[in-house]
Amino acid sequence: MAYVHPDAKLGKDVTIEAFAFIDRDTEIGDGTFIMSGANIRNGARIGKNCRIFPGAVIAGIPQDLKFKGEDSIAIVGDNTTVRESATINRGTASKGYTKVGNNCLLMAYSHVAHDCEVEDYVILGNASQLAGEVEVDHHAILSGGTLVHQFTRIGAHVMIQGGTRLGKDIPPFIIAGREPVCYSGVNLIGLRRSGYTTEKINEIQEIYRMVYQAGFNFTDAINKIEKEFEETPEMRQIVDFVKGSPRGIVRGYMG
């Protein structure tokens, strides 16, 4: 039989299979399916219509030596799937929470560490690993085996090639890969699937052409883009990301 702590809060039509574990101070939304062997720990906040597969652990304590047992939570949004043996750790005193958004897919053996923020429609491929306080914006796809250094930021509509190691920020709308990681073009397929027009994609390509033709002098490139390009949401999103990147953005291909 499953174990469900009497203080757990379960919504309507929640299914809990045999041998699942539901701890105290947990909340599970309507229609969510907790499969056999899943482990929902203290501090889990799981939304509606999620699917939690065998071996997954939600709200395990952080793998951070600074963690001193403080109260914190792990949030999983609506319609999100957490596959076999994937793990989402609770937050620490830094933020107090770890967040995975709505309509996400965390494939088998992926890991979301303490204080990460993963926005809506993100896909983490098999065995992808996010270190502490990583931020992943909406519609990003991290292919299998991606390793992300702590505090790294990944922009919206990004595609990361499988097996990539990330130590720099990845600005929105691009593909990043190779070894060492570098800019590999605009994510054309992803943008088309999300409804971006050819005109808008061309605008994004022109902005990145200017960014990466500047070599390592991204500051001059961004100043020039702000002067020469029309103010659009996409232009502003790219410019603000680059200007606000404390780690610096990924470099262009040097091969």
* Residue-wise pLDDT tens digits, 98-138: 999 999 999 999 999 999 999 999 999 999 999 999 999 99
**Residue whose token pair is 């990003």:** 140
Catalytic residue among 64, 78, 115, 169: 115
Question: Distance between CA 205 and CA 62 in Å, rounded?
Answer: 39
Number of neighbours of residue 228 by Cβ within 10 angstroms: 10
Q: Mean pLDDT over all residues of the chain?
A: 95
Q: Express each pLDDT in 16-47 by its tens digit.
A: 999 999 999 999 999 999 999 999 999 999 99
Q: Express each pLDDT in 177-191 by its tens digit.
A: 988 899 999 999 999
> Which of the four pLDDT bands, split at 50, 70 and 90, describes residue 254?
low
Instruction: Report the amino acid identity of residue 121.
Output: Y
Active site residue 114: yes
What is the structure's pLDDT at 215? 65
Q: Which residues 6+ apart lie within 8 Å of 159 measured at CB?
A: 140, 141, 143, 174, 175, 176, 187, 189, 190
Average pLDDT score over residue span 201-229? 88
> Under CATH, which number does the domain 3-136 receive?
2.160.10.10
Average pLDDT score over residue span 44-52? 98
Q: Which residues 6+ apart lie within 8 Å of 150 measured at CB?
A: 113, 131, 132, 133, 134
Active site residue 132: yes
What is the structure's pLDDT at 179? 86
Catalytic residue among 114, 138, 139, 157: 114
Supply the pTM of this predicted model: 0.95
In degrees rounded to 5, what are phi and psi of residue 119?
-85, -175
- The reply to whether CATH 3.20.20.120 applies to domain 191-243 is no
Rounded alpha-carbon distances, angstroms, from residue 99 to 45, 77, 172, 201, 248: 9, 8, 20, 30, 24
In degrees rounded to 5, what are phi and psi of residue 111?
-135, 130
Structure tokens at 140: 């990003």
Active site residue 55: no
What is the structure's pLDDT at 216? 59
Looking at the DSSP bridge assignments, the partners of residue 99 are 75, 117
- Cite the beta strand spans of 117-212 per DSSP E: 117-118, 123-124, 129-130, 135-136, 141-142, 147-148, 153-154, 159-160, 165-166, 174-177, 182-186
Q: How many residues does the chain have?
A: 255
**Structural domain spans, the chain:** 3-136, 191-243
What is the structure's pLDDT at 52? 98
Query: Which of 179 and 199 is assigned the larger pLDDT?
Result: 199
Residue 134: which region, alpha, beta or left (left: phi > 0; alpha: psi -120 to 50)?
beta
Is there a contact between 47 and 29 (Cβ–Cβ < 8 Å)?
Answer: yes
Q: Which residues 6+ apart lie within 8 Å of 179 measured at CB?
A: 164, 165
Question: Distance between CA 19 and CA 37 in Å, rounded?
Answer: 5
Catalytic residue among 29, 37, 47, 132: 132
Question: Distance between CA 140 and CA 170 in Å, rounded?
Answer: 10
Q: Is the pLDDT of residue 221 over 80?
A: yes
